Amino acid sequence: MSENHHGPAAVISGERHDTATRAPAFGPVTITAGDPRYQSLVEGYNHRFTGTPDQVRLVSTTAQVVDAVDEAVAAGRRIAVRSGGHCFEDFTASPGIEVLLDLSQMADVYYDPDMRAFAIEGGATLGNVYKTLFKGWGVTIPGGTCFEVGVGGHITGGGYGHLSRRDGLVVDHLYAVEVVVVDQSGRARPVVATREPDDPHRDLWWAHTGGGGGNFGVVTRFWMRSPGVDSDDPTLLLPRAPARMRRRFVMWPWEPMTEEALTRLIRNYCTWFEDNSDPESPARELWSNLIVTHRSSGMFGLTTVMDDDAPGAEEMVNAQLDAIKAGVGVDPVVDTHEVVPWMSVWMPSYSWPNDPNGRYKHKAGYLRRCYTDRQLAALYRHLGGTGYDNPAACLVLTAFGGRVNAVAPGATAIPQRETILKASYSAGFWQSPGQDATNIQWVREYYRDVYAETGGVPVPGDVDDGSYISYPDADLADPEWNTSGTAWHTLYYKDNYPRLQEVKRRYDPRDVFHHALSIELPA
């Protein structure tokens, strides 16, 4: 039975359905380098990259997006699209970009009764999405914990967070997208693509379930509704938001942490997830984040959270920590265990790194099971060694699996559906451009050492499973740092890449939307 009252091939207006009650549209506004607003608008979260576009176009409706794209294409100007500006690479700030399309004024979140789904405009931030869904209907999406991240990049890359083991990825709840695409003639038009099996644009929907942002067009709106839900009651259309979270925060000191001790701790952590990541496991309710900062930080910590209304929450949180501590031989110096309201205490932005003026370099990988002994030794060499002093440099091992693994690898564009942890490798943050070379070189060598047996990158296999496109790393396409013989797109998309290329051919045949790691047109 069709889920869409309008039919799957509908192309709707760029305006909200309740335009009669909406304030007049903002903009469009065009800002150039002589404007005092320009500098603040070209800076992204990662201050290593500041763009110099000829103009920044701020828009608030789909119609304005169509006009802006039409003008840029007609003038032969390269265009890039920014939702929240939280990208790890220079995708919206590279030197060749001439028009930066800023969606920050397209930030509405509302229930759309015609689609029986929650509409989220492409410039909304996660913080606004969570608050609106929770306050209005008591529901949520299983997205990330950084409030300032824009949905445009987060959702299109797959989207995950502290509820993903319970509820899957954000894209597992994506019903439809509205995308402004450019045809072979150079004309822009909005297309609505749904997950309906008979939707002629279904492949465009599929490409946005993990195919990454900036590849196919401008996403002006997402509609969210969990699959299999057949109701007109909006409070039933998305996962229930927790009322309160049981949270445990533990810190270990670095000074007594030998290689044997740290290796045992990380192995224990990984093993717990090997044993507790089945989609039907009761432990899918538990999420944790182990952040092993560099020895120069003095200590490092684990945060574990779980819906306090889940059966056995207190016992499970305690049991996980007991398993992680077993045989380590170094006692924690901090251990707090409390129950806190979900929205007002747990959900305030948990950004990492958290310096808004910082410069960053991050890398990532998926784990299907625990690191090998050689990999664990490499982690200790770089995090526990001397000669490098950045307290924020780290390894982050974030809980994955659970309901994420209930979806087939080809059902969405994100193929890593047999994993237990998401690993991030970071040089932390710094503020001086003069520190770029030292920090970037350190994290590159650290990452290459961890994956030395597979050409310096996490080639899919028994232990590793590629990387995550929403943590983009242009080094994966650089033969100096990727000597594996495995293409960057295989690391991100595996067997889904050829299908993504066909979507690119159909909806962006002129390659209007591209960046350093964008989907390439098929030969």
Residue 307 lies in a domain: yes
Residue 109 pLDDT > 90: yes
Residue 217 lies in a domain: yes
Residue 141 pLDDT > 50: yes
Q: Residue 39 has what pLDDT?
A: 93
310 with 177, same domain? Answer: no
Cα 489–chain centre separation: 17
Q: End of a domain among 185, 219, 240?
A: 240
Judged by average pLDDT, the poorest of 38-47, 100-109, 408-417, 512-521 is 38-47
φ/ψ region of 485 (left if φ > 0, alpha if ψ in -120 to 50, else beta) reads left
Residue 266 lies in a domain: yes
Residue 82 lies in a domain: yes
143 with 255, same domain? Answer: no
Q: End of a domain among 225, 240, 255?
A: 240
How far, in Å, CA of 75 to CA of 57, rounded?
15
323 with 467, same domain? Answer: yes
Residues with Cβ within 8 Å of residue 411, at least 6 apart in sequence: none
Place of tokens 């695409």: 181
How many structural domains are present in the chain?
2
CATH number for 118: 3.30.465.10
Q: By three-state DSSP, how is residue 323 classified?
A: helix
What is the chain's mean pLDDT, rounded? 93
How far, in Å, CA of 281 to CA of 299, rounded?
32
313 with 216, same domain? Answer: no
185 with 214, same domain? Answer: yes
Q: By three-state DSSP, how is residue 335 classified?
A: strand
Residue 21 pLDDT > 70: no
What is the token pair recorded at 273? 């997830």
What is the token pair recorded at 415? 């193929």
Mean pLDDT score, 4-25: 42
230 with 119, same domain? Answer: yes
165 with 264, same domain? Answer: no
How far, in Å, CA of 165 to CA of 310, rounded?
13
Residue 117 lies in a domain: yes
Closest-CA residue to 131 (of 110, 114, 116, 113)? 110
How far, in Å, CA of 488 to CA of 513, rounded?
18
Residue 272 lies in a domain: yes
Residue 1 lies in a domain: no
Q: End of a domain among 240, 274, 294?
A: 240
Mean pLDDT score, 294-318: 97
Range of the domain at 67: 19-240
Residue 8 lies in a domain: no
Are the C-beta atoms of 193 and 97 separated by less than 8 Å? no
Mean pLDDT score, 364-383: 98
Q: Residue 328 has what pLDDT?
A: 98
Are the C-beta atoms of 57 and 100 separated by less than 8 Å? yes
Residue 357 pLDDT > 90: no
Q: What is the DSSP letter of 518?
A: P
230 with 268, same domain? Answer: no
pLDDT in tens, 197-214: 999 999 999 999 999 999
Question: Hey, what's the torsion of the CAs at 457, 460, 465, 466, to 10 degrees?
Answer: 40
Q: Residue 119 has what pLDDT?
A: 98
Q: What is the DSSP letter of 182?
A: E
154 with 79, same domain? Answer: yes
Q: What is the DSSP letter of 430?
A: B
Query: Is the dihedral angle over the CA atoms 360, 361, 366, 367 positive or is it negative?
Result: negative
pLDDT in tens, 248-302: 999 999 999 999 999 999 999 999 999 999 999 999 999 999 999 999 999 999 9
Band of pLDDT at residue 348, cut at 50, 70 and 90: low
283 with 298, same domain? Answer: yes
221 with 257, same domain? Answer: no
Place of tokens 């290329």: 501
Band of pLDDT at residue 397, cut at 50, 70 and 90: very high
CATH number for 251: 3.40.462.20
With residue 445 as reference, give the H or E element that holds it: helix 436-450
Order across the sheet with 286-293: list the strands.
334-341, 244-253, 299-307, 286-293, 394-399, 421-426, 362-367
Classify residue 64 by burial, with Cβ atoms within 10 Å: 0-12, 13-18, 19+: buried
219 with 276, same domain? Answer: no
Q: What is the DSSP letter of 162?
A: T
Residue 44 pLDDT > 90: no
Residue 55 pLDDT > 70: yes
Give how far Cα 299 sits from Cα of 230, 332, 484, Å.
49, 9, 34
Mean pLDDT score, 167-191: 98
